[in-house]
Amino acid sequence: MRTFPLLILFVFVCSLSLMAQNDLSKMFDEPVQAKEHIPVTATFKSPQIINGQSNETMHKHDLLFVVMHRFGDIAGSYGGMQTFYGLDNSSDILIGFDYGISDRWSFGIGRTKGAPNGTNTSQKQLFYLKTKYRLLRQSIDNSIPFSVTLFGNSVTSGMDRLNLITSDADFQKFSDRMSSVTQVIIARKFNDNFSLALLPTYVRRNYVSYMDMNNLYGLGIGGRLKVTHRMTVVADYFLSFRSQESKDYFLQQSGFRFYNPLGIGLEMETGGHVFNFIFTNSTAILENQFIPSTSSTWTKGGFRWGFSISRTFTLSKKSGS
Amino acid sequence: MKTLITIIMLIVSCAVQAQIVTSRNAKLSFFSEAPIENISAESNTGVSALDLSTKSVYFKVSMRSFLFKKSLMQEHFNENYMESDKYPYAEFNGKINEPIDLTKEGIYPVTVQGDLNIHGVTKNYNVKAELKVRGGEITANSTFPVKLADHGIKIPRLVIKNIAEIVQVTVAAQYKAESKEAAQSYSSPKKK
């Protein structure tokens, strides 16, 4: 009778050892999978969605060179055949560099033409400094369900003072030339093909035209949808919380209406280069201008073709191991 | 008598189990030569097991553990080519063809036949390898070509000049006998 439990034990051990022999893979089930919370990569493919920022920063010691362009109105009174559907004009151009200090923290510097819209914004020749820090990174095992990145910029207008008391370029002192943006980018990669970002934004402009707002809040939403292996559809939309009082004033004074910027585009990636081909009603490229004062609308032909080309240069010399 | 037989059998079965040697820091690397730039990456965290009695060989490596010189390359590797979220591991399950005795010291050139699973696609390989038994330690080395197309890894036409279609894969493992505790831990896997 004493043999009975032993026999059971024997069968048990035997089956275990057999299992171990036939399937060596079982040996590593645990140690390999117990590996920590790996962060999700490529929620977006570049630091910028279209008009808005993405949660992505540069890799450590990578340098990004970027050129962004927005043409003139495709249709409406400023578009059509006479401007070759806006291609003769440029509403805004940006040339800049981004550099990764660490895998979480990057800096950028650049210049844009600036897109004055006459009534509300007259500032041009903008120089910007920007920084982005990854506070949280979504992890593959969902222990952190979303990514949070902080973004901030400081913009200075280098233009000659415009001697026009009603404009925001009638600079009295240097600080009048400055504006800044503070933004939180909350992003989630839902699966391989679909990512979404929410961008609560605060825009501070030190000097604005009469009845315009020094402090303005906005909320952006952006998304990415993969169509093929290399091509994604990207879109973003910004709500700007301008006071009714201010809207009414500009409408009554100069028939000036504010719209929310919407951008839709195709993004192509070819290892190191990212090219995006977009359409948007926003004339300006910097948040400091397009959130407060987008004044053209899709419905009246006030949208334009735009593109951005970026190239990443790897400056680090770390070895493969 | 029965008890005695059972005990003997138990010992035998335990002995069989002890004939498995493992490596938890197997080195796996690959190299691709292409007109524009060479690509290489390395992982030191592969795992491997070798069963001395059945001559079964097993390798497993996490795709995300491969380190590249350029971070962007590493991201593209995981994101565009290997789809590491979907297929996190590469696995090889095979058997040594030659009748060799790995308890004796020496250098054994062998061939190993087995299934290699990369990017969710399994293909049967017959690769050359070298086993070295010295001072009670076994090391294994092998280099073999892997054709990316065989594993459903697509290279877009645009970057075809940047990436070679055939990649040289190198594996190197140094085996240790599994400790009793480890042997028990894989018999009854714990959940964390």
For residue A52, what pLDDT band results from cuts at 50, 70 and 90?
A: very high
Q: What is the residue-averaged pLDDT of chain A?
A: 88
Is B170 at the interface with chain A, CB within 8 A? no
d(CA A228, CA A192): 11
d(CA A178, CA A125): 12
Q: Tell me whether residues A32 and B89 touch, CB distance under 8 A.
A: yes
Is B154 at the interface with chain A, CB within 8 A? yes
A198-202 average pLDDT score? 97
- How many CA atoms lie within 13 Å of A76's alpha carbon, on the beta-carbon side? 15
For residue A9, what pLDDT band results from cuts at 50, 70 and 90?
A: low
Q: Which of A14, A23, A24, A56 to mutate to test the interface with B (most CBs of B within 10 A)?
A: A24
Q: Tell me whether residues B72 and A62 touch, CB distance under 8 A.
A: yes
pTM for the full predicted model: 0.80
d(CA A4, CA B187): 22
For residue A165, what pLDDT band results from cuts at 50, 70 and 90?
A: confident
| Cα A80 from chain centre | 30
Q: Has residue B13 got a pLDDT over 50?
A: yes
pLDDT number for residue A21: 46
Token representation of residue B41:
């990456």
Q: Tell me whether residues A24 and B67 touch, CB distance under 8 A.
A: no
> Over the stretch B55-72, which tens digit does the pLDDT of each residue have?
999 999 999 999 998 888
Under a CB-based contact definition with an 8 Å cutoff, are residues A68 and A93 in contact?
yes
Q: Has residue A200 got a pLDDT over 80?
A: yes
Chain B neighbors of A32, CB-CB under 8 A: 47, 60, 62, 89
A253-266 average pLDDT score? 92
Nearest to B9 among A10, A192, A270 (CB): A10
d(CA B132, CA A12): 34
* Confidence check on the interface: ipTM exceeds 0.90, yes or no: no
Chain B neighbors of A59, CB-CB under 8 A: 71-72, 75
Token representation of residue A144:
């952190």
Under a CB-based contact definition with an 8 Å cutoff, are residues B18 and A18 in contact?
no
> What kind and span of H or E run contains A239?
strand A231-240
Give how far Cα A311 sits from Cα of A272, A287, B72, Å. 6, 22, 11
Chain A neighbors of B86, CB-CB under 8 A: 192
Chain B neighbors of A320, CB-CB under 8 A: 29, 40-42, 67-69
Q: Which amino acid is at A209?
A: S
Give the helix, strand, coil percentages of chain A, each rounded to 5.
20, 40, 40
Q: Which of A14, A27, A191, A274 to mutate to test the interface with B (most CBs of B within 10 A)?
A: A27
Chain B neighbors of A62, CB-CB under 8 A: 71-72
d(CA A157, CA A177): 5
Higher pLDDT, B160 or A285: A285
Token representation of residue A58:
């540069």
Portion of chain B with pLDDT greater than 70, in percent: 81
pLDDT number for residue A128: 97
Is B68 at the interface with chain A, CB within 8 A? yes
